[in-house]
Structures are given as structure tokens and as C-alpha cells.
Amino acid sequence: MKALTTLGLVFLFAGAAHAQFGEIVRPPSAPTELAPATGTWQGSHGHGTPLVLGWTQLILPPGGLDINPPATHFLVCIDSYAPGATPPACNLANRDYIETVASPSPALTRNVHRFTFMPGRFVEDAELDQPLRVSVVACSALVDRGCRATSADLWYSSMNILSDAASESANTTKKSWKLDVRAMNTGDGMVPAFSGTLQLFEVLSTGNPGRDCLKDPSMLGMQPDLVILDKLGGMTPLPMAQLPWTGPAIVGIFRQGSFSDSKSFTTTDPAFAGAQSTSRGIKELEFLIPQSAVTQRTFVVRATLDTGNVIREFNELDNIGAACRKR
């Protein structure tokens, strides 16, 4: 999908920028620090996601030597393409936008060597969840041999699954503990099936009998067999922890050798419709808990979503959720 090529841009070409036949043309340095460079960005259906690009370009040759002449024009190309396909080239024949350094349009602003380009172009629905090739070409003359390009692949994702740990299912019995893995989709795109894991850790408790997970490591000393479990899935041996604790919120403290278990699961396809901002159950799993004389026991349940990394989300840091649960 090609972008609109004008958007009200003013094309001003200085006569000196056009190379004459037979003239030796030296291209300028390639633009650097193209941003947003790589990574996954949030995209939205319907109302679109605006594109803002930036790059650095040395306009004056370093040291006064005319090794790389000043850039006089910038070409900008924005093209979506299928994963695995060859991305399109960016040149004079297929550029989406062209700007002059001397007389830029309002879409291009400059701060010394830093340029910001805001063409009023939006990421279309059909361009979400696939590579989007962005190229910026610096030219010293409006011939291809007088240009150098820098390209980057952007990926605007419309999906983001968020783990909400797990809660006790209504189907649980005295002999087995059935837990309902819960999650939501804070993006507005349809999420396909994915795999995950649910882990149980029997942890230290407060009260007699235990009424809650113990979350304060400062009262335990440096016992070598204790491990801090935090809400983001971190596991920190107590002797290695920096106290007072400044990391993610602690959900429990596990003693190595205590009961723990893990089960894998796969959701149905599709796993989520768009914009599911309320947590819902996605899989019910059963755990057999060894009998104990303790009348009330505490556990940390930790759900990890998309363990196969098959979903490219705009936030990959919220796929693990941990919480304290009593039994």
C-alpha cells in the first residue's frame, strides 16, 4: 500500500541540485538514527495511528572537506509488505514524499542536524501486524546516483494480551484444585491461539492458621533456601536480594523443597476478540495438592501467556501475572 504522495507538500527544486549530463555526483552521508527505528509500536484500527519520523543528517561536510556534499533533498518512502517478501526500494521513481532542505514544507522541521517529519500520514488497518518499511534518502542532486538511503522496518501491532494470574474455579473439589487462567486483550485486534503455563508455589504465610502470603522479607534474615516471588514473575534468592526491597511488588516467599507444580496449556483459536479490557477465563487447569495437617495453606499462582512467542504484541512485558491464593 503506497502513501499519498502530496499531502499539500511544496516541492521547490534549486537549479544547482539537478546534475547535468556527465557531471560527477557525490552522494551525501546516509541519514542516521532513523526513529522510530525498530521494535513494535501500538497500532489501532479504525481511527489510525499517526506516523512521526526523525533522523539525523550532517548538512555541512566535516572539516570543510567536500568528501560528502551537503544534502539538498530528502526522499521518504513508506510501504507495507508481506513477511518474508523483499521490501520495496526507495528512489526517485517510487518515493512517497520529497522535501527540499532549503525550502521545506511545514511537514519537515529541523533542529541543527536533527529532522522531524510529520506528513499527516496514518498507518492503515491493512498495514497493522506486518512489516512496514520506512526509508529516508538524502540526496545531493536529484539523480539516484546522488542519493544514500537508510531504512528500518516498523511493526505496528494491534494485539496485547495481559495476564491476570488465575482464580479458583467453581469446579474445584476437596481432592483437586481447579484454577481458571485469566487474561485480557488491551489491543483492538483479534488474537490467535497461544500456549502458556500455570505454576503453583506453596509459600510462607502470615497468621495462625495462614491467612495471607508473607510478603515482607526483612523479618526472615538471609535464609539461603528462601526465594522472593514478585508479581512480574521474578524469582530472587533472599540472600541476593537488596533490602529494603525496591523491585516489583512481592506476592510471596517460597522455601525451596516446598510443593510446587506447573502445567502447560493452549487456548482455542481465536483466543480473544478485540478490546477485551475485562479479565476473563481462558483455560481451566487441575492440580492435585498433597494432603497436609495445615488447615489453611497459601500459594502463589503464576500464569505466563504466549510462551512460544508467536504473537507480536505492542507490550511484551505484561504476559506474566502472579497473585497470592489461599486454599
What's the pLDDT tens digit per position in 229-268? Answer: 999 999 999 999 988 999 999 999 999 999 999 999 999 9
**Is pLDDT of 276 > 60?**
yes
> Has residue 229 been placed in a domain?
yes
Whether residues 150 and 250 share a domain: the answer is: no
CA distances from 13 to 25, 60, 71, 142 (A): 17, 19, 13, 9
Q: Which of 157, 180, 213 is where one domain is finished?
A: 157
> Has residue 235 been placed in a domain?
yes
Whether residues 300 and 317 share a domain: the answer is: yes
* Residue-level pLDDT at 23: 60
- Which one is predicted more confidently, 80 or 201? 201
Whether residues 59 and 118 share a domain: the answer is: yes
> Has residue 83 been placed in a domain?
yes
Query: Residue 152 is part of which domain span?
Result: 15-157
- Lowest average pLDDT, out of 86-90, 94-98, 267-271, 302-306, goes to 86-90
> What SS3 class is residue 235?
strand
At 128-145, the pLDDT tens digits run 998 899 999 999 988 878
**Is pLDDT of 111 > 90?**
yes
Whether residues 319 and 181 share a domain: the answer is: yes
**Is pLDDT of 15 > 50?**
no
Q: What integer is the mean pLDDT of 96-122? A: 94
Whether residues 109 and 189 share a domain: the answer is: no
| In the chain, % of residues over pLDDT 90 | 58
Whether residues 119 and 176 share a domain: the answer is: no
* Residue-level pLDDT at 269: 93
Q: How far apart are the first and last CA of the chain?
A: 55
At 28-41, the pLDDT tens digits run 989 998 887 667 88
Q: What integer is the mean pLDDT of 64-74? A: 78
Whether residues 249 and 292 share a domain: the answer is: yes
**Is pLDDT of 100 > 60?**
yes
pLDDT band at 4 (very low <50, low <70, confident <90, very high): very low
- What is the chain's mean pLDDT, rounded? 86
**Is pLDDT of 76 > 80?**
yes
Phi/psi for 103 (5° steps) reads -135, 75
**Is pLDDT of 115 > 60?**
yes
pLDDT band at 295 (very low <50, low <70, confident <90, very high): confident
Residue whose C-alpha is closest to residue 140's, from 280, 264, 38, 16: 16
**Is pLDDT of 148 > 50?**
yes
* Residue-level pLDDT at 207: 79
pTM (2 decimals)? 0.80
| Residue 126 buriedness (CB in 10 A; 0-12 / 13-18 / 19+) | exposed
> Has residue 258 been placed in a domain?
yes
Residue whose C-alpha is closest to residue 75's, from 3, 155, 147: 147
> Has residue 2 been placed in a domain?
no
Per the structure block, which three cell numbers stand in for 123? 498507518
Whether residues 294 and 183 share a domain: the answer is: yes
Per the structure block, which three cell numbers stand in for 75? 526522499
Q: What is the domain-level CATH number for residue 78? A: 2.60.40.10
> Has residue 5 been placed in a domain?
no
The Cα 258–Cα 199 span in angstroms is 13
| In the chain, % of residues over pLDDT 70 | 89
Whether residues 106 and 192 share a domain: the answer is: no
Please tell me the total count of domains within the chain: 2
pLDDT band at 17 (very low <50, low <70, confident <90, very high): very low
Q: Which of 133, 157, 181 is where one domain is finished?
A: 157
pLDDT band at 11 (very low <50, low <70, confident <90, very high): very low
Whether residues 312 and 194 share a domain: the answer is: yes
> Has residue 10 been placed in a domain?
no
Whether residues 88 and 194 share a domain: the answer is: no
* Residue-level pLDDT at 10: 29
> Has residue 9 been placed in a domain?
no
Whether residues 198 and 64 share a domain: the answer is: no
**Is pLDDT of 318 > 60?**
yes
Q: Which of 90, 123, 157 is where one domain is finished?
A: 157
